[in-house]
Amino acid sequence: MRFEISGNALIARNGYETLKIEPWGKDSLRVRAVQYDKWTGNDWALTEEPEKTEAEARIGSEDYWDGYGEPRPVPFGEIRNGRLRAEVNFAGVISFYRDKKLILREYYRSYGGTLSKESRCLKVVNREWKGNIGGGEYALTVRFDANEGEKIFGMGQYQQPYLDLKGNILELAQRNSQITVPFLVSSLGYGMLWNNPAVGSVTFGKNLTEWTARSTKQMDYWITAGENPKEILKNYTGVTGRAPEFPEDRMGLWQCKLRYRTQDEVLTVARQYQKEGIKIDQIVIDFFHWTVQGDWKFDKTYWPDPKAMVDELHSMGIKVIVSVWPSVDRRSENFGPMMERGLLMRAERGEAQTYDYQGDCVVIDPFNPETREYVWEVCRRNYYDLGIDAFWLDNSEPDMGVYDFDNYRYFAGPATECGNMYPQLYSRAFFDPMSKAGRGPVVNLLRCGWAGSQKYGNVIWSGDVPSTFESLRDQLQAGLNMGLAGIPWWTTDIGGFMTDDVNDRDFRQLLIRWYEFAVYSAVLRMHGDRGPYNIPALDDRDWGGGYLHTGQPNELWSYGEENYRIMRKYYDVRIAMHNYIKSLYREAQENGSPLIRTMFYEFPKDKKCWELQDQYMFGSEYLVAPILHLNEFERDVYLPAGKWENVNTGEITEGGQTVRVKAPLDEIPVFRKK
């Protein structure tokens, strides 16, 4: 291993590999490595200018004994940036220290290194590069020792009941309801970003941690040290970006269903809300309001005057958001021009088809700047110029007929190399020009994101999830981990997306419990595909705005008088918290804090809070204990030290204990810190 210092960076060379470690923001280091000294120049998620810090790199030597003869001096390199220090030994093994405590070390079980003689013959190394035959990329594996007792959080959204990810295997790939945001927060006081958009996996095993990228040219990760999770997230969002301003006029209720089929349906619903005295902030026009996928325009048969519709909605103080999909049907007027100009995703083998729902489609390639310009120009002309306020960028993973990532290629390279950035670039096709247009803060709705997506005006929802209590429990874990991955604007379909029968009593109970939870989250949004499907189509065409099915009504009053009473009650609770919610959005903008927070985010010194996953903090003041099981009408709630007021009863309770709380259907247990 040969070491050198270049500026304030530590460089280490061994064989074909060059390793570079440099300061990158407060108490943080960026670690990169390539083969043959071929640097890519990609910063990926690290888009912000890092804070300048005082850092020091040095080279030294230490005695090493290989079991034969006398000890001999071998070189090592060291770099320190604030509270974080990295050491690289003569075998290239990196060890990270927070202050003087070891927090992370690369896994090395081969000749030399720092580990025991019993392990050295395994020939398992810390950074393993395997060339993809016939290509210029590598399959990369990076390994770290597992830390006994460590807890790991963040990493985006996975549909599973685990908040602590230790012991989990996670696919690093985007799918409907699965969102890879590869930033973790450790209970040992550090955070780590796997700054690589390649498809792969991570295993947080008991015996080792292993990151893989199926196709890449460069290893790239960033690590930071912090006193607590809030400080770690502040450091992370300082280098990847923070959420912009969130407009006050969208902090209330968003109304949506699958699907409003005509402009008359939209206006009828909006007028009824106005009659009921309920202010909705935004109404959503869902998919297949268009002619065919990829035309990105209203079907004039059912939307004869969308501008007049938008104008009337605006007169009621309602913003309008329209669904846009990235799929382009071969029948679309845009398919030929986009295919001819190379603006669609490319299949490496076989026919050019990537999506097959309601049409033979190919999805757009947002990695190509020309694609982003083309799509925006069409949507500007057909939507934005009519007064449409925002876009629901659905299927933004993108959804594909078959997730054969190795069969797809983008302008930037193979999907296996860069595909996880797709949702972020898709969102920028709209965020960038909308920001320049100057019509106010940009807030678009997406089903997926990646590291840094928070800075592009993305409200991310949890995808097409089942309408079950099991799913509700999963969404809580998903939302909390998304927040720890730097995504503060997160929401769900209230009641879940897939419902067979809206008249089912168990579903109606689930809906209320989900709604109560959503009131204490970033965005309160009604949506869902509500069965039974007994509403006839508007026409018998196989295209256009009339042929596809619609779900049952999904307005607040659609589920009986008792449910309406409860939902109206909690709507009023939401509106009454407006100024508080405004302060939470401002905090997200200032330091990256999520709106819904794990208990340990606010109480990091309370060991009990690191174990809890069925209650959370809504900001710093409200402790929320959602009801997560059918026919559950009381539950245990842990109160950290201090005084807590039960917002339902007004009773003051001393913290540092677990209390039993009643939860009738019209109450969610919530305590306010005094």
8 A C-beta contact, residue 630 and residue 509: yes
Task: Examine domains 248-322+369-393+425-588 and 598-673 and report if their fold is the same.
Answer: no
Does the CA dihedral 604-605-606-610 come out positive or negative? positive
Of the listed ranges 67-81, 369-383, 470-484, the least confidently predicted one is 67-81
Write down the mean pLDDT value for the chain.
Answer: 96
- For 634, phi and psi rounded to 5 degrees? -160, 160
Domain 598-673 has CATH 2.40.10.10: no
pTM above the 0.95 mark? yes
Exactly one of 145, 394, 474, 529 is catalytic; name it.
394
Helix (H, G, I), strand (E, B) or coil at 483: helix
Domain 2-240 has CATH 3.40.30.10: no
Q: Are strands 200-204 and 208-216 parallel, antiparallel or unpaired?
A: antiparallel
Q: What is the pLDDT of residue 413?
A: 95
User: Where in the chain are the domains?
Assistant: 2-240, 248-322+369-393+425-588, 598-673
Domain 248-322+369-393+425-588 has CATH 3.20.20.80: yes
8 A C-beta contact, residue 426 and residue 371: no
Does residue 117 register a pLDDT over 60? Answer: no
Q: What is the pLDDT of residue 122?
A: 85
128 part of the active site: no
Pick from 86, 87, 80, 84: which is nearest to 99 by CA?
84
- For 424, phi and psi rounded to 5 degrees? -70, -45
Pick from 364, 476, 470: which is nearest to 425 by CA?
364
The residues facing 180 across adjacent strands are 156
Percent pLDDT > 70 in the chain is 98
User: Tens digits of per-residue pLDDT, 318-340?
Assistant: 999 999 999 999 999 999 999 99
8 A C-beta contact, residue 595 and residue 621: no
DSSP-based helix, strand, coil % in the chain, nearest 5:
25, 30, 45
User: Tens digits of per-residue pLDDT, 563-586?
Assistant: 999 999 999 999 999 999 999 999
Helix axis angle, 561-576 to 505-519, nearest 10°: 10
CA 590/CA 243 separation, integer angstroms: 8
- For residue 189, the number of C-alpha atoms closer than 13 Å in the C-beta half-sphere is 16
pLDDT band of 115, cuts 50, 70, 90: very low
Other beta carbons within 10 angstroms of residue 191's beta carbon come to: 25
pLDDT band of 387, cuts 50, 70, 90: very high
8 A C-beta contact, residue 256 and residue 47: no
Q: What is the pLDDT of residue 69?
A: 78
pLDDT band of 135, cuts 50, 70, 90: confident
User: Tens digits of per-residue pLDDT, 398-449?
Assistant: 999 999 999 999 999 999 999 999 999 999 999 999 999 999 999 999 999 9
- For 372, phi and psi rounded to 5 degrees? -60, -40
For the segment 22-29, the average pLDDT, to the nearest whole number, is 98
Other beta carbons within 10 angstroms of residue 663's beta carbon come to: 19
37 part of the active site: no
Pick from 391, 470, 494, 446: which is nearest to 181 by CA?
446
For residue 385 the two structure tokens come to 């110029």
Helix (H, G, I), strand (E, B) or coil at 632: coil
Q: Which residues contact 395 (CB under 8 A, 6 or more apart)?
A: 176, 325, 326, 327, 355, 363, 447
- For 169, phi and psi rounded to 5 degrees? -110, 125
For the segment 272-287, the average pLDDT, to the nearest whole number, is 98
561 part of the active site: no
Q: What is the pLDDT of residue 261?
A: 97
Pick from 583, 198, 604, 245: which is nearest to 420 by CA?
198
Exactly one of 397, 474, 493, 555 is catalytic; name it.
397
| CA-based R_g, the chain, Å | 26
For residue 620 the two structure tokens come to 């710093």
Does residue 66 register a pLDDT over 90? Answer: no
Exactly one of 87, 106, 389, 464 is catalytic; name it.
464
